[in-house]
Amino acid sequence: MKTPRTEAAAGPLPPRARPAAGAARAGAAEARAAGVAVPAPRRTLWLASALFVVLALLFCGYFFRSLRAALQGEEALALRALAPQVLDRPATDLTLEDEAGRPVTLSSFKGKPIFLNFWATWCGPCRDEAPSVEAMIQEMTGKGLTVLLVSTDDTWDDVRRFYGGRPSGGLVLRDPGAKGAHSYGTFKYPETYLIDPSFVVKHRFIGPRNWASEFALRYLQQLL
């Protein structure tokens, strides 16, 4: 006859499995009781988040500094390609003439960047430059640049023949006797002056340029 097995004879029965959360709490309690440091999950998560934010801000700062340096480098390259003469002097006011014979003063455009171009119909380089000027005007339309194309021809008939009945995108004016051109020191047509909104002549360009080039358009954007 078999005798019933007792706990004392067979040893203690294995404990029942505890739920995972309860086991984790019990494990942490046992570790603390044994003097083992247990990291706080919330504190660890907060420190990791803070470190991530700091690293992200450092990366963004580096990125924008690099971008600004690159843009400044491109602007400097654009300026060198156009080879201007730096003036940085107050603009001289001029009284010019529109096609109807009405006086137009240069100072009436103060407050906007001004592209002031002196030219003549008899000037070969002026004729070469003219298509790029018109293309530039198309690109800059609506962006705030005032383009003044000032002819030093003796009559409007010469100017009209030059355009052949096709209106210019800029404001065509005439400088009788080339007095305005001479007051600016113009001696080699075409000559262009870039005047900022505060009515300061920033740069002078002696001779023709390709004003529709990427470098020229990037340079003009700086004035806006």
- Domain CATH code at residue 170: 3.40.30.10
Cβ of 170: how many Cβ atoms within 10 Å? 19
How many CA atoms lie less than 13 Å away from 218 in the CB half-sphere?
Answer: 15
Alpha carbons 195 and 202: distance in angstroms, whole number: 6
List per-block mean pLDDT (blocks of 10 residues) for the chain, which spans 224 residues.
Answer: 47 51 54 52 71 66 45 56 90 96 97 97 96 96 95 96 92 96 95 97 95 92 84
Amino acid found at 171: L
pTM of the model: 0.66
Same domain, 169 and 119: yes
**DSSP conformation class of 177:** G
* pLDDT for residue 47: 74
* pLDDT for residue 165: 83
Q: Nearest to residue 171, comparing CAs of 214, 203, 197, 134? A: 134
Same domain, 135 and 61: no
* pLDDT for residue 66: 43
Same domain, 198 and 215: yes
* pLDDT for residue 77: 58
Same domain, 133 and 177: yes
Count of the separate structural domains present in the chain: 2
Q: Which of 33, 52, 82 is the last residue of a domain?
A: 82
* pLDDT for residue 33: 54
Same domain, 64 and 114: no
Domain range for residue 65?
Answer: 41-82
Rounded to 10 degrees, what is the CA torsion of 172, 174, 178, 179? Answer: -110
